[in-house]
Structure 1
């Protein structure tokens, strides 16, 4: 019988493209800390030898032990070189060497060897983390492109309570991926028009794909590739020109947002009624003020009108169809309906 508990090894191509979130501490800072610990152990050993210099003898016969001699002895002792030119000869000095110098020697070696081993095993550690993540992740969100649109989409997801590890960012720009990784997001390096890259991002197991590329033609290719890999995954696309909306619809996009025209409409509205723009921005920002959300109809609300609820309802989703709140087909709510309503947003610092 096949052992289902064993996990297949991670493809080296996956390790090179997929990167788990980095630790909060930067690698250079961690290395400098270890170097400081090593030098601290070395200096402590030198001070101990110099304070007890009367118990040490220089076999070269160059007189009393100086601080430079003590530092030299600490260096060759902690590095286990041990030339034997400076040695402890009194019982107290030998006791200090046994009780103090030896633990410092071990600390020194652990720091140096530990740093080397960590560098050598980093690839194996990444492989294990990637393997564990891929075995657990389901219904995550894949964001294609981490420019202005992609970053805003991620901020909205995080503001709605999505865990960072459930967001995968795909991009070719290393600087953008580093910024995403700093937020705790999983990143994939590669061209999202390639099916192999989208497989690494787990598109076939994702609940949604956000396509926020800088070019409309790239968005079409990404949508086609993602739809082929996962026909049931919801795909949301941002395009610059409205003339390309039908191409995205035909490619399999579930929702298409025309970024240029939407921004243009808001600019036009702002010249006449700027307060309206402020309200729209407030509704689109989940961190504070008010936000648009979705919930299921409660049992006590079935049969009632969405216009008479305590919440401010904007629309009703029945099946796959969205109806405005004043549509006659949703005058009476049914089980399974979902309400689009205005809720009070909770700031991040509040419970």
Structure 2
């Protein structure tokens, strides 16, 4: 099921309002009939009691009309023409309105899904909206990625509700199933981020995405254990982030070199101080040493491989290289990583 972000009235509240309106209409009708009860005649000809008034109001508003109680005086008939008949129509509108609203809501949602699919392209699919999934979404948004091009796949009800509340499109289902990923249009997406809490699920999702896309979609996966990283890469993941190992290294740096942690946090936190960024090499920079650039380059990306700039090895910039550098967040926005 596709859940697009929207604000809507709760079903219990909507039903409660309709029931309250219907009950209020019945009570008003009973009151009017009881006040003018002398103008009505029943088959027993013993006058109308309060129960008889309730009975006549209900059968009249529901268009049942058994005919055992009828208005006989001109005054009572005039009240039926001016009030009871419009009240009967209003009562039916209230009862049928709930069904009409459900049908209209389903049609409106189907129309919105169709429009959403038509506009969806180059999107990123994020499997899982737990701690890692929320952080991935936040990182994409902080780097200027359009929220409408982020599609979540989540099967936990609380995760689905939270994603919808944050204005994100959600596919309610298990990302290990091909049908669910096809609902997210995995074949035409830009990348798939796997942020589940289970390494086994990450491997299954990676294999499923690889099978559906024939390896044409970039897969970024997160695992808890280092030993599962190689398995994920063999399954088709292009990048694997080991959360436990990364956290362990950061903890070690905190103990042995506390200032380094501040630098790492600064680099990884968008909008604050320094940030890692990436851009294409300009024509005037081809053939130059990256260390001679005005920006502080830390690596080159050449044909998908990382060329570090440390040590004594001399590296020159070639056409098509991507330059990874450190920029000030107050500078112009580049293609952040």
What TM-score, normalized to structure 2? 0.72
Q: Mark the CA change 1:331 to 1:136 in structure 2 (over 3 Å): closer, same or farther.
A: closer
Q: Mark the CA change 1:45 to 1:333 in structure 2 (over 3 Å): closer, same or farther.
A: farther
Give the Cα–Cα distance (whole angstroms) in 2 for the partners of residues 130 and 101 of structure 1. 43
Structure 1, unaligned runs of 5 or more: 1-16, 346-351
Offset at 1:161? 5.1
Offset at 1:189? 4.5
Q: Mark the CA change 1:81 to 1:298 in structure 2 (over 3 Å): closer, same or farther.
A: farther
Q: Give the aligned CA root-mean-square deviation in angstroms.
A: 4.3
1:225 aligns with 2:211: no
1:240 aligns with 2:219: no
Which residue of 246, 250, 274 maps to 1:266? 250
Which residue of 152, 159, 178 maps to 1:195? 178
Q: Mark the CA change 1:84 to 1:271 in structure 2 (over 3 Å): closer, same or farther.
A: farther
Q: Mark the CA change 1:291 to 1:23 in structure 2 (over 3 Å): closer, same or farther.
A: farther
Answer whether contact 1:144 1:210 (CA < 8 A) is retained: yes
Offset at 1:263? 1.5
1:177 aligns with 2:160: yes
1:26 aligns with 2:31: no
Which residue of 96, 106, 109 maps to 1:113? 96
Answer whether contact 2:302 2:322 (CA < 8 A) is retained: yes
1:205 aligns with 2:188: yes
Q: Mark the CA change 1:330 to 1:81 in structure 2 (over 3 Å): closer, same or farther.
A: farther
Give the Cα–Cα distance (whole angstroms) in 1 for the partners of residues 302 and 27 of structure 2. 73
1:9 aligns to what?
A: none
Q: Mark the CA change 1:316 to 1:48 in structure 2 (over 3 Å): closer, same or farther.
A: farther
Offset at 1:218? 3.3
SS at match of 1:113: helix
Answer whether contact 2:194 2:220 (CA < 8 A) is retained: yes
Q: Which region of structure 1 is more displaced relative to structure 2, 146-155 or 204-213?
A: 146-155
1:254 aligns with 2:238: yes
Q: Mark the CA change 1:268 to 1:221 in structure 2 (over 3 Å): closer, same or farther.
A: same
2:335 aligns to what?
A: none
Give the Cα–Cα distance (whole angstroms) in 1 for the partners of residues 297 and 93 of structure 2. 63
Give the Cα–Cα distance (whole angstroms) in 2 for the partners of residues 95 and 291 of structure 1. 81
Offset at 1:115? 1.7
Give the Cα–Cα distance (whole angstroms) in 1 for the partners of residues 234 and 267 of structure 2. 30
1:11 aligns to what?
A: none
SS at match of 1:308: coil
Give the Cα–Cα distance (whole angstroms) in 1 for the partners of residues 176 and 216 of structure 2. 18
Offset at 1:142? 1.4
Aligned residues: 323
Instruction: Kindly name which structure, 1 or 2, has the bigger radius of gyration based on alpha carbons.
Output: 2
2:329 aligns to what?
A: 343
Offset at 1:318? 6.2
